[in-house]
Amino acid sequence: MSDASNDYYLLDVFTEHAFAGNPLAVFPFAAHWDSRRMQAIANELNLSETVFVGEMAGANRFPIRIFTPTAELPFAGHPTVGTAHLLAHLALVRRDQPLVLKAGVGPLEVGFDGSLARFTTAQPVAISESSLNRTRAAALLGLPESAVIGNPVLASCGLPFHLVELSSLDDLARAIPNPSDWSRWVTPSGQEALYMYVAQPTTTPGGTLRSRMFSMENSLREDAATGSAAAALVGALTAGKSWSGRWQWCIEQGVEMGRPSRIHGEVERNSDAITAIRIAGEAVLVGKGTIFL
């Protein structure tokens, strides 16, 4: 026997096509489950993230918990976007009203704009020194030092990433982290996620980026679309700029994995500082399942 709390939905996020983007599982009725059960299920499904939605805490307000196969995360982008789309699909929220998903990092305010779900980060971008410099980053990725533009930085809007800018799409395609160098230079920092990107030429505030994300979770893993990394990246790229107004970015990720994704990033700033960072994307419902417990 099963009940609704055992049901989950599969979505492909940051795409409008099935079997592209980043897969996600969402349990929309998991209010009474404990952490051990959630972690065990996330490990069983073995997706980059699985979301468990708690009991509604007010109109269009839901707590969520996000798990990788081995750990709980305080925040992640494609789970936020995918969960918002699913709750709207199930008519548990109204698209014409603001939605709040309360994650470990704090409340994530979500709005719907046509086919997009757009959330505002709960934390401003924080930028600090990375354990990688230009020389280490090039060696780690198996690239010549000339392929790395400047020294990497560590940036976070609730989940930290080493940001590494590369000079070309060819370099991005060739770059594969070496596990032994990762253990020497990335693991000691305590931040086990790396986001590589290539900026396309633009004359407007923002532009188009291509990216890849690798993390170490028992073994090296590549992610098809990483909204939390995209938030950190657009925040870092806009920090320190003098232009006031709205910066808009389109980030393509997952191409090298055969799971193309499109992430929309938006940064608002006044003359003094960034006032908001937002990430938006589409999602496609591709399946439904039941866990028998």
Q: Please give the positions annotated as active site.
A: 49
List beta partners, residue 103.
106
Q: How far is CA 239 from CA 126, 190, 272, in A?
A: 10, 24, 10
Q: How far is CA 225 from CA 21, 212, 275, 291, in A?
A: 6, 8, 24, 26
List beta partners, residue 268.
246, 276
The b-or-e profile of 247-282 (16+ CB within 10 A means b, else e) is bbbebbbbbbeebbbbbbbbbebeeeebeebbbbbb
Q: Rounded to an integer, what distance in angstroms lies between the CA atom of residue 45 and that of residue 79? A: 15
**Sequence letter at residue 98:** P
Nearest to 170 by CA among 136, 135, 137, 198: 198
Q: Rounded to an integer, what distance in angstroms lies between the CA atom of residue 24 and that of residue 12? A: 6
Phi, psi of 36 (to 5 degrees): -65, -45
To the nearest 10 degrees (0 to 180), the angle between helices 77-89 and 227-238 is: 120
Q: Rounded to an integer, what distance in angstroms lies between the CA atom of residue 247 and that of residue 269? A: 8
